Structure 1
Amino acid sequence: MELPSLLGPGRPAQAGIARSELTRVLRDSAASHGAVLRTALTVAQTVENGTSVTAVLSDGTTRDVDLVVVADGAGSKTRELLGIDVTPAYTGQMVWRAVVPRPAWADRLFTFFGPGDNAGLIPISAAYAYCFLTENLPTPDVLPDDELADRMRERLGPFGGRVAEVRESIRKPEDVVRRAVNTVLAELPWNAGRVVLVGDAAHTPSPQLVSGAALAVEDAVVLAEELARTPDVLEALDAFGRRRHDRAALVVEASRRVARLEQAGQQTEVPGLLGRTHGALAAAI
């Protein structure tokens, strides 16, 4: 597939990065701009004060702030505190991921359709890539951690060629992660007063669109723009939600459609759907 490049002709349309490395980049950038980072805390309660909001933290301390941005993922506990009623929806698939040495041919995202499962490879650094496998499973389950590497190689057994080459490098159980694929799409408003959802807490696509982190970064950009545009925080949050909802919904719904096509054995329709969705995402935010 030829995806549109926002950087211009001859430049990559996508970039793979390890989650730990992305976290480091974001943390270092935030700290360089003067942010104070505190970890191992959650928000236990928020109290609106008219022109501010008080956040009660899990260690008992409080913070009086202009705005609380909720970015605690698809299973957001803070979302429940706000009374925003949305339950993560299981897509009928489990996703396996394993970090492997990067083969010389892995210069982009590769997807391989199999007789049941689908597999692929995404380079995340000069030395490493991650191999993924999408398993169709009506009800999610949990496997023993020490069996994950052997089980993943077994599920990749029907694949030949490049997948077979990568398969044999999956040996350490600690390098393999297997999770249920859930999606989330909260309806507007994404805020309750001065507390607003962003990222996976508001919209979680399945991984086939490889756009979850990109949507979260877009949220940050748009939220900053709307807060800079008006001194009225509530007005800015309303504008933020209206700008973001339909674009996020496009990705979440497309990802759900991909899952249904894969489960129905209609993988040949997937590239066209992915191409149309990524084409739409090339439009300005």
Structure 2
Amino acid sequence: MNIDLHGKTALVTGSTEGIGFGIAQGLARSGAEVVINGRSQTKVDAAVARIGGNARGIAADLGTIEGHDRLVAALPKADIVVSNLGIFQPSDFFDTDDATWDRHWQVNVMAGVRLARAYLPGMAADGWGRFLFLASESAFNIPVEMIHYGVSKTADVALARGLAKRMAGTGVTVNSVLPGPTLSEGVEAMLEAERAKSGKPIEDVAAAFVQQHRSTSIIQRAASVEEVANMVVYLASPLASATTGAALRVDGGVIDTLM
């Protein structure tokens, strides 16, 4: 299987580190011209430098309309869009105020809505395109400690399905990808205190976390960033032309349903 994305421009939001950076790196290695996005110009520049020659960056906060407009002005068209930007904040339902709900909605949902409105028409006009939403296993397994986050990710899955139907017959596919616990920089930071306390490798600490808090995991460990990125790179390629409207899991088997 040869994934060749030469001649394609790919935008990956929230891609200065973590899963987003892994996706951008994977797309670049497959030949795409990759556009890195993040809020900090310094972090954007550093990520671009790590990827190398076929990458450039746009610093913009896509959780705001102003940031969205800035990005689209700098990049009016893209062949591949990966709406990866997302935030999470553990908080009990009864302590979670409207501002927290709205911030999660703006960043996790509306940022993708705006990108779809901006880029899908151009893809349809060209007769080819790939639009991907990074959802989460939390879309189906709503976490009791952050219901607001789970609801936003369920919305991403529904949005991808609806947009896939809207783009029927255009040559444009729209899908969502559902990672499970993934050993990104953010998760490493969350587990650092336990790693320092136990003295164990971070992979072992992450595996223990998965076994305790995501006990339905079949692989019984955290996925790597690269494992999630591999699924996205495939879906962004011409090889995935018959896959659209799907919610594809890279969750290690955490979601305990057949469908």
Normalising by structure 2, report the TM-score.
Answer: 0.29
Greater gyration radius: 1
Identify, as 1 or 2, the structure richer in helix. Answer: 2
Structure with more strand by fraction:
1
